[in-house]
Amino acid sequence: MGELNSGKKELLLITGSPRKNGVTNTLAAMVLEEAGLIYKNINVTTLDTYALALKPCTHCGYCKKKPACVHDDFLPVDAALQRADVLVIASPVYVLGFPAPLKALLDRSQQYFEAKFSLGITAIERHKKAVLLSAHGSKDDKGVCFMEEQLKLVFKAFNAELNASITAHNTDSGHIDFDALRGEIKTALTGIL
Ligand SMILES: Cc1cc2nc3c(=O)[nH]c(=O)nc-3n(C[C@H](O)[C@H](O)[C@H](O)COP(=O)(O)O)c2cc1C
């Protein structure tokens, strides 16, 4: 168990499902409930990537010359990433990967890679512990494996480490053990907060 009230922690939840009452957002709500129970002094920022509708990276080269993106729609994401201690990515599996709006956010991490490798700047100083929550329509693990690999790469730019990956499998069958998933979430957060 984390140290109760020993200092404010910033939790950033990034969601990638268009279905407000779908499996992904149900798991995301559980994370917020359980995090609040485990660690009282927590501040939450939620970014819904469908609402944000970030422009996709166009590989224009702007971030090779300046530590920024040519499009200013990423600024709220950057501000939230700068202050986060804990990062939760909640996403359904779409065609073995992230839905397009969330993938657009991940692609925009290119500006942080360019900051490092072209400009010699560390873009995000604060280290984050991270959790992937995923909703996987089928029984297999394929999509989640690809998503974890993508995150491991992006997390180098976000200064984050993937501490836990929790998946609701076989969601399209309609049989989802939410109690067991809540238990997994609780265990993962207890190890992080
Ligand atoms: C466009 C689209 C693509 C999908 N691709 C996959 C897939 O590749 N593998 C899979 O197991 N399920 C796939 N699914 C099923 C979703 O992962 C599943 O329904 C999930 O529970 C949706 O998350 P939500 O309940 O949060 O909306 C897909 C669903 C959609 C709408």
Q: How is residue 28 written in tokens?
A: 């995301």
Pocket flag, ligand 1, residue 142 (CB < 6 Å):
no
Predicted model pTM:
0.96
Question: Residue 135 C-alpha to ligand 1 middle, in angstroms?
Answer: 7
pLDDT average, residue stretch 57-62: 98
Q: What does the pLDDT look like over 104-135, one tens digit per residue?
A: 999 999 999 999 999 999 999 999 999 999 99
Residues 6+ away with beta carbon under 8 Å from 28? 13, 15, 46, 88, 90, 133
In the chain, pLDDT over 90 holds for what percent of residues? Answer: 95
Sheet holding 42-48, edge to edge: 42-48, 9-15, 86-92, 128-135, 160-168
DSSP label of 190 = H
* Predicted confidence band of residue 9 (pLDDT cuts 50, 70, 90): very high
Strands (DSSP E) found in 31-178: 42-48, 86-92, 128-135, 160-168
Question: Residue 137 C-alpha to ligand 1 middle, in angstroms?
Answer: 5
pLDDT of residue 3 exceeding 80, the answer is no
Give the containing element (helix H, strand E) for 9: strand 9-15
Which among 171, 173, 178 is the best mutation to test ligand 1's pocket, defined by most ligand atoms within 8 Å of the CB?
A: 171
pLDDT of residue 1 exceeding 50, the answer is no
Rounded to 5°, the CA angle 38-40-82 comes to 100
Side-chain-side CA neighbours of 118 within 13 Å: the count stands at 14
Residues 6+ away with beta carbon under 8 Å from 35? 11, 42, 44, 86, 189, 193
Provide the angle, in degrees to the nearest 10, between the axes of the packed helices 142-158 and 100-107.
30
pLDDT on residue 6: 65
